[in-house]
Amino acid sequence: MGERVFINDVGPRDGLQNQAKVLTPEQRVQLISALVDAGLTAIEVGSFVLPSAVPAMAGTDKVIEALPGGIASSQVYYSVLVPNQKGFQLAQSAGVRCVEMVVASTETMNTENIRRTTEQAMAGCEQMIGLSKEGGIDSLACISTAWECPFEGLVDADIVIKMSDQMLNWGATRVVIADTIGAAGPDAVHELMNSLVQRFGAEHLACHFHDTRGMGVANTYAAVSAGIRHFDASVGGLGGCPFAPGATGNVATEDLALMLSQAGYETGIDLKKLVAAADLAGEMTGSPAGGHSSRWLKRQIEKGAL
């Protein structure tokens, strides 16, 4: 068996939050169940944010109540995004065992996304990491727009290195380096991830790529080559960020799973079932869902080769 690479499907959060159509909590649970069935062992199931800011994430508490295996399932590592202490408290009361918080690398992006300066956002992050540690909850600290910001342009690697260092010192379980607008290319990804791995070790890092320029899979490969083994991806390539102009879908989970398996890695994912989950996401959201590989994958399924 090949070396394991872990994929966290963020479609039910990053994917759905940017769809024109708002799904019911029941539909969101149906999508999550299809992902569990397809072998995903980590899923971001929603967020505790201001419902008026992100209507698609209202009712995350109801989603949590109906998750296959329960929120504390030992089979699937469920996480939620929290923007502030209030969100953290709601997540904690719902029995969540892993929270994700996001700080952007630039001032403008923090202001647009969470109405905080970077300093305020980092202070909030420190507090929430502290609360997570006290409560025995894992914390994923995400640095968004890590390569390029839609407002401020190219981001200096030293900023990302310094923020990662602080987040890990505060006790974050892992730092997630995110290309929120899908602007990075493989060389830039390899360079930054390589320097982060040298400093902090690959087990404390993850990557989150968007496929805006079709480079999500190439960027993943570059990060794998730098030693990264944890990735976010979104079923059917659903996604975007409502607060980052130009951000389109996340790299599709099926594209990552296919590339990784061809490169000899083990993901535990059943591609046939994952394609079915992507179709379900497409039907429910009414927007086309599917990665670059989905036509080929479907032909293999028709031929009985998958």
Catalytic residues: 241
- 53 contributes a contact to ligand COA by CB under 6 A: yes
Residue 113 makes contact with ligand COA by CB under 6 A: yes
Give the SS3 label for residue 170.
helix
User: Minimum Å distance from CB 141 to Zn ion?
Assistant: 14
- Say which residues have a Cβ less than 8 Å from residue 251's Cβ, sequence separation at least 6: 209, 210, 211, 216, 217, 219, 220, 233, 234, 237, 291
Binding to ligand COA (CB under 6 A) within 236-265 occurs at: 241, 243
Sign of the torsion formed by the C-alpha atoms of 190, 192, 193 and 199: positive
Q: Kindly state whether residue 114 participates in binding ligand COA, applying the rule CB under 6 A.
A: yes
Shortest spacing between CB 211 and ligand COA, in angstroms:
17
By the rule CB under 6 A, 22 interacts with ligand COA: no
Q: Which of 49, 99, 189, 215 binds ligand COA (CB under 6 A)?
A: 49
Looking only at the bridges linking them, the beta strands covering 148-149 and 153-154 are antiparallel
The answer to whether 81 touches 232, Cβ cutoff 8 Å, is no
How many positions of this chain bind Zn ion (CB under 5 A)?
1
Task: Please name which of 75, 80, 74, 76 lies closest in space to residue 96, comparing C-alpha atoms.
Answer: 80
Report the partner that residue 131 touches, choosing among ligand COA, Zn ion, none (CB closer than 5 to 8 A by kind). none
Strands 6-9, 148-149: pairing is unpaired
Q: How far is the CB of 109 from ligand COA (least distance, A)?
A: 10
Which residues between 115 and 134 bind ligand COA (CB under 6 A)?
A: 115
14 binds Zn ion (CB under 5 A): yes
Q: Which residue of the chain is nearest Zn ion when measured via CB?
A: 14
Where do we find the tokens 């991830």? 193
Among 54, 125, 149, 222, binds ligand COA (CB under 6 A): 54
Q: How far is the CB of 232 from ligand COA (least distance, A)?
A: 12
Rule CB under 6 A: say whether 86 interacts with ligand COA: yes
Planar angle of CA 44, 47, 50, nearest 5 degrees: 165
Token pair recorded at residue 166: 């602080």
Query: Directed axis angle between helix 253-262 and helix 216-225, to 10°?
Result: 50
Chain residues in the site for ligand COA (CB under 6 A): 47-50, 53-54, 81, 83-84, 86-87, 102, 113-115, 241, 243
Chain residues in the site for Zn ion (CB under 5 A): 14
